[in-house]
Amino acid sequence: MADQARARKVADRIKSLVAEFVEFRLKDERVGFLTITDVRVTGDLQNASVFYTVFGSDAERAATAEALADNRGRIRSHVGKGLGIRLTPTIEFFPDALPEGAAHLEDALAKARARDEELARSSQGAAFAGEADPYKKPEAADEQ
């Protein structure tokens, strides 16, 4: 089993090799605007999970996933030549859920901002129900 530092270096190298191959050498019209976001390698350096995002519609995402699956062997061959280690890891592609999570957070923040603005509008003309300062204060010594 390789140490974690070596696995991290191998993962970073795989990320750059896959990105380079997809950008410069993969001649497939189905590949959309693709970004390789992360690569995770198992401890024994046998399997690599490549996470990616695609900018575009659901049809473009599906076409890109199909193109990556069809060219997985060519990409693995390029990674094997670039890594220079004894065994080339198998490569699996996974769509990254990061954009959907970010969109969900943006929606939640927009709702919170709208509720804050609504609360500020409703409290503009409001007055206190009782006194302005409801807390009891100690009596001064000269009032006795």
Largest CA distance in the chain: 94
Contacts of 77 (CB under 8 A, 6+ apart): 88
Q: Which among 31, 1, 18 is positioned nearest to 81, based on CA atoms?
A: 18
Instruction: Report d(CA 47, CA 5) in Å as an integer.
Output: 16
Q: Residue length, the chain?
A: 144
pLDDT of 123 reads 83
pLDDT of 2 reads 65
The answer to whether the predicted template modeling score (pTM) of the entire model surpasses 0.75 is no
Q: Does the pLDDT at position 78 exceed 70?
A: yes
Give the residue-averaged pLDDT of 24-47. Answer: 88
Work out the pLDDT band at 99, boundaries 50, 70, 90. low
Give the residue-averaged pLDDT of 16-36. Answer: 87
Work out the pLDDT band at 31, boundaries 50, 70, 90. confident
Give the residue-averaged pLDDT of 88-95. Answer: 94
Q: Tokens in use for 12? A: 């970073």
Helices 4-20, 72-83: crossing angle, 10 deg rounding: 130
Q: Tokens in use for 49? A: 């999970």
pLDDT of 142 reads 65
Residue whose structure tokens are 């690599």: 48
Amino acid letter, residue 61: R
Work out the pLDDT band at 134, boundaries 50, 70, 90. confident
pLDDT of 1 reads 63
Give the residue-averaged pLDDT of 42-71. Answer: 91
